[in-house]
Structure 1
Amino acid sequence: MDNQFDIRNHDTRDPNPWLAMYLDSSIPINTLTKQALMRDNNSRSTRYFLPFIKFWSKISMFFIHIFKFFFPKFFNSSKALHRILAWGLKRFVSPDANLLIFRHFHAGSEILEFIAKNVDGIQVTTSPLKPYDFDGVKDDLFLNHDLNLYNFVIKLNSELKEKGLGIHKQKNLNLDMISENQFNHIQFPKKWTNVLDLRSAIELFTPFYQLFLTANDFVRASNSLQLDETVAIYTTQILGTPGHLGLVNNKHPMVPTSTYTAAYRLVLHGLATETLHEILVNIKLDKSKDGVVTPA
């Protein structure tokens, strides 16, 4: 076990808050993900780089917003953006932060597929995004993630309305698409330059996202974070357990918030995805043990 999470290192006069969060079991989350997130929160990059990067990010976004108002079609290149993102992730982002970023696409894809396969009477095809290396980022990964989410909501609800159907609790859940592994099959770079924590990386990349995408793409990407509530509602309707909605912080997609908070909300989006995915993993494990599904 990582020394940071060894209870023997606990000092009652100086308790480690991240040790407390790691040991706390009130929020379901993958063990490997939890360790990576707690190490990331306790990293030197988070403590020393993040405050300055956040300041730079907000100032940059302000001037890019003005620039885009006068030159809306200048620098619009998703391909260039994703090449920059892939290059930055590989050379400057820590292994823990890269793990959290890459895992997010896998978990999110499986959640959408779970919903699609557990609503009676509909045939919605999903477009899973499961990158296994940095080259996978170059294929418009982040942009397609947002597009897939909106397209899924549109396709699902248009078919439900067309057929007069609804989303209801399922007694026999299809959990074939939910992976139980710890997602440790990618070896991320550990060079001396790979130091950026998750939030610093997101804050640093957000102005580039704003600069190289159209205004519509950037605003849509920011607003998509609030669809956490929508996806969580679909899932709880299938499971019949509305209490899981309490784990969602990005809410009210019909009332969009400022793009300046996108970086922080993106981290919350990742956490919401991980907790929801872990709930499904636990249900699948219970099913394999007992032979029945008990979504409690």
Structure 2
Amino acid sequence: MADTRPRPRSPFLRALAFDDSLPIEPAAVRLWLDDLERPTRWSLRPLLQLLLAVLLHLIWFVKRLPLPQFRAHGLLQRLICWFCTHFVSPSANQLILRHFATESNILNFLIDNGPEVTVEPLTLYPSRIEDMLDASFVKHDQELFRVIEEMGHWRQRPAALAPQAINWTHWRSLEESDFELPRRRTQVLDFESAHALFMCLFCLLLTREEYRDAINGFNLDQSIAIRVGQLIGDPSLAEMAYNKYPHYLVGPWNLSQCFLMHGFFTEYLYARLERLRLAAHQPPNGSTAAYTAK
């Protein structure tokens, strides 16, 4: 009889499951390790990334020509949601939904604790794939740019905020039960293979300016980390940002890695702030019971 047991993880992946030197939620680690072990990650993904990177640069070149621009945001979102529902693995889908929430939390943290200006908080916290039809990836990017613009010029505080003085009004803790992800037998595609397919759709169905802004928005990671680090007194946060120097505009070269590292960045920063929030709300008697944000 054939051995049907799952293959044991390699020593490196077993070590990765326990390495929390960088702040990251155990749920995110579990989802990522599950994604890494999908066969499509090691067989289909390299071919997809090679072929679709060539196609992406061709579309990028055509979109840069002085031709009439067009967009199809609704079609883009419907295609992505349909594809996620039928072909993308549940673990990859949950990572996608988590990304909306982690970035919304980080920006809301800046809004709640930043300059004395009125900025509308983000409400992009989809819990189902269908929710992304409204809380779209395009809106996700535009909300980032809106918040940075409306907050105005950043002025460093003379001192970091005391933990008890930090405002968590619009912060939402993430629990696995927050996400509704029905499973289908056809959902086998890993996160990176799915992104390789999506990146050409984004380039085609956005205007050249929208797409240029979206891929360069990753480089605001460093700016966000600097701001959060100044608020909580931790300048080392800037080292978590792989994407840096937003004044230098880039094209779609190495886009898959930039996108993936942007996702890790928001997970790291979310976990760092969540630990800070939980520590600040520990009961005075030292009990380990944690306050849960609503």
TM bin, normalised by shorter chain, reads: 0.7 to 0.9
Greater share of helix: 1
Structure 2 residue ranges without an equivalent (≥5) = 285-294
Letter paired with 2:19: D
Write the deviation string for residues 234-284 of structure 1: whole angstroms up to 9, x where unpaired.
100100110122221111111123313222211111110011011111011
- The answer as to whether partners of 1:225 and 1:269 remain within 8 angstroms in 2 is yes
Equivalent of residue 279 in structure 1, options 269, 272, 275? 272
Q: Shift in Å at residue 140 of structure 1?
A: 6.0
More deviation, 68-77/259-268: 68-77
Change in CA separation of 1:4 and 1:23 when aligned onto 2, cut-off 3 Å = farther
Equivalent of residue 137 in structure 1, options 109, 121, 132? 132
Equivalence for 1:36: 31
Equivalent of residue 238 in structure 1, options 217, 231, 235? 231
Equivalence for 2:105: 110
SS at match of 1:196: coil
**TM-score with structure 1 setting the length:** 0.87
What is the correspondence of 1:84-95 to structure 2 with a 5 Å cutoff? 84-95=79-90
Equivalent of residue 221 in structure 1, options 214, 217, 232? 214
Q: Shift in Å at residue 134 of structure 1?
A: 2.3
What is the correspondence of 1:256-295 to structure 2 with a 5 Å cutoff? 256-289=249-282
* In structure 2, distance between residues paired with 1:144 and 1:120: 24
Change in CA separation of 1:143 and 1:79 when aligned onto 2, cut-off 3 Å = same
SS at match of 1:137: helix
More deviation, 104-113/127-136: 127-136
- The answer as to whether partners of 2:129 and 2:181 remain within 8 angstroms in 1 is no
- The answer as to whether partners of 1:18 and 1:41 remain within 8 angstroms in 2 is no
* In structure 2, distance between residues paired with 1:283 and 1:276: 11
Letter paired with 1:283: L
What is the correspondence of 1:68-87 to structure 2 with a 5 Å cutoff? 68-70=63-65, 72-73=67-68, 76-87=71-82
Aligned residues: 278
Q: Shift in Å at residue 169 of structure 1?
A: 1.7
Letter paired with 1:169: A
* In structure 1, distance between residues paired with 2:77 and 2:16: 33
SS at match of 2:152: helix
Task: Tell me whether 1:173 sits opposite 2:183 in the alignment.
Answer: no
Equivalence for 1:185: 178
- The answer as to whether partners of 1:78 and 1:140 remain within 8 angstroms in 2 is no
* In structure 2, distance between residues paired with 1:78 and 1:71: 21
Letter paired with 2:129: F
Equivalent of residue 146 in structure 2, options 129, 147, 151? 151
Equivalence for 1:206: 199
Structure 1 residue ranges without an equivalent (≥5) = 292-296
Equivalence for 1:247: 240
Q: Shift in Å at residue 70 of structure 1?
A: 4.5
Write the deviation string for residues 180-207 of structure 1: whole angstroms up to 9, x where unpaired.
3423332323222111111111111000
- How many percent identity over aligned positions? 25
**TM-score with structure 2 setting the length:** 0.87
Equivalent of residue 123 in structure 2, options 117, 128, 149? 128
Q: Shift in Å at residue 137 of structure 1?
A: 1.6
Write the deviation string for residues 200-236 of structure 1: whole angstroms up to 9, x where unpaired.
1111100000000000000100000011111111100
Change in CA separation of 1:256 and 1:204 when aligned onto 2, cut-off 3 Å = same
Q: Shift in Å at residue 125 of structure 1?
A: 1.8
SS at match of 2:127: coil
- The answer as to whether partners of 2:80 and 2:198 remain within 8 angstroms in 1 is yes
* In structure 1, distance between residues paired with 2:49 and 2:6: 26
Q: Shift in Å at residue 73 of structure 1?
A: 3.7
* In structure 2, distance between residues paired with 1:124 and 1:67: 37
Q: Shift in Å at residue 75 of structure 1?
A: 5.2
Change in CA separation of 1:284 and 1:260 when aligned onto 2, cut-off 3 Å = same
